[in-house]
Structure 1
């Protein structure tokens, strides 16, 4: 699973340390910033590529709603407050969840799960990208995002989707260029895969829909990096 980057904005040192400890124990989270709200911390958070923001409301220099209004990035925001009365206004800012202090680790994990689901939902709403190919002497439109993997077959390539396979006259290099998407990587001389379709992998093969696909040794490091950046 991808490692999600986080920031904490909280004026209480005790509460901030507690959140830091919870995040540190979660192997799927990485903390990049932790401070109270101020114009300086707002600028720092806006400069980060974070997935989650844990945000208190009542703070002395800048309150949580002022901080939210100043954001130029769009992380999943999880409010942490001891006052239930702020919940309605918080959700008007389209926050992901509202944690009432003191909250349990189970409640924290529930909020994280909700945030991850929202990130997945946003990524899955990507627009269709069409690729026109010739299959069985007919012009066919392929949805690029629906391709599972591509396999070399001599002078042809086999394009495997969730619905059917297509045999297309093309080299692997030429077809890889036509895909034109960062979600595809050639992991072996005979295979191009859609990173979003990978179900599991080790350093010998990846698995997509029960198909085990070998990985070239030269691609292991790149594959590790890419799969850590994609869900």
Structure 2
């Protein structure tokens, strides 16, 4: 099951613990960071890969709106506050939801459901990723998301898509470097696979459209982790 990374920015240790307990009970969320707002925390959050941020407003070193203004990433943001007066300004920042403390478990669940739906929707709206390659002496554009797998062919690689195959002059390492690391994995010295296209797998091979592709023992754990992070 897909889990979504989240962080808590809250100066009250009691409120932070309450949120941590709710997150721990959720099968959809994984907490990766919890702290009060300050410049160092902001720097850490901007380096992280979070989908969802729980953010208090009134904090001593940096308030929630200052923290929001400093974000360079775009997680779904759920404001948690004791004061309703911040709600209007919060939504000016296009936050996902506003939880007025104390809030119920049902209200918490409704907020994270809304946030998760928005994360999924945003991912679906991402434009197609194009890769320019030379095939049969011509430059062609490949839709990266349509690739099923890549197979080594000596000094060439064969890129297999649902519509056709492309034979490209390249090493596997060089081609792998052009792909998104969280979308593709080199599971064997001769194969790179699109994680989204994996239909079934065990610890010996994966299957993509009836093609059985061997898995290197060294890649089993990484493959498990990446597949568990997909929708």
User: What TM-score do the two structures reach when normalised by structure 1?
Assistant: 0.72
1:93 to partner: Cα distance: 1.0
Report the counterpart of residue 171 of structure 2 in structure 1. Answer: 174
Distance in 1 of aligned mates of 2:138 and 2:123: 32
Structure 2 vs 1, CA of residues 45 and 205 (structure 1 numbering), >3 Å: closer, same or farther?
farther
Query: What secondary structure is seen at the aligned counterpart in 2 of 1:221?
Result: helix
Question: Mapping of 1:173-212 within 5 angstroms?
Answer: 174=171, 177-178=174-175, 180-181=178-179, 182=181, 183-188=183-188, 191-198=191-198, 201-206=201-206, 208=208
1:193 to partner: Cα distance: 0.8
Does residue 130 of structure 2 align to residue 129 of structure 1?
A: yes
Distance in 2 of aligned mates of 1:220 and 1:144: 23
Distance in 1 of aligned mates of 2:217 and 2:118: 34
Report the counterpart of residue 77 of structure 1 in structure 2. Answer: 77
Question: Mapping of 1:40-119 within 5 angstroms?
Answer: 42-48=39-45, 49-51=48-50, 52-59=52-59, 62-119=62-119
Structure 2 vs 1, CA of residues 43 and 61 (structure 1 numbering), >3 Å: closer, same or farther?
closer
Report the counterpart of residue 18 of structure 1 in structure 2. Answer: 18
User: What TM-score do the two structures reach when normalised by structure 2?
Assistant: 0.72
Q: Once structures 1 and 2 are overlaid, which stretch shifts more, 181-190 or 13-22?
A: 181-190
- Per-residue CA deviations over 1:1-43 (Å, capped at 9, x if unaligned) read 5554433223444322210111222354333443444x3xx42
Distance in 1 of aligned mates of 2:63 and 2:159: 57
Q: Once structures 1 and 2 are overlaid, which stretch shifts more, 210-219 or 94-103?
A: 210-219
Aligned residues, how many? 223
- Per-residue CA deviations over 1:127-169 (Å, capped at 9, x if unaligned) read 532334547x9875321232122356899836123xx232x44
Distance in 1 of aligned mates of 2:202 and 2:209: 15
Which ranges of structure 1 fall in alignment gaps of 5 or more residues?
A: none
Contact 1:46 1:73 (C-alpha < 8 Å) held by counterparts: no
Contact 2:2 2:229 (C-alpha < 8 Å) held by counterparts: yes
Distance in 1 of aligned mates of 2:204 and 2:56: 45
Distance in 2 of aligned mates of 1:66 and 1:56: 11
Distance in 1 of aligned mates of 2:191 and 2:27: 31
RMSD of aligned alpha carbons: 3.7
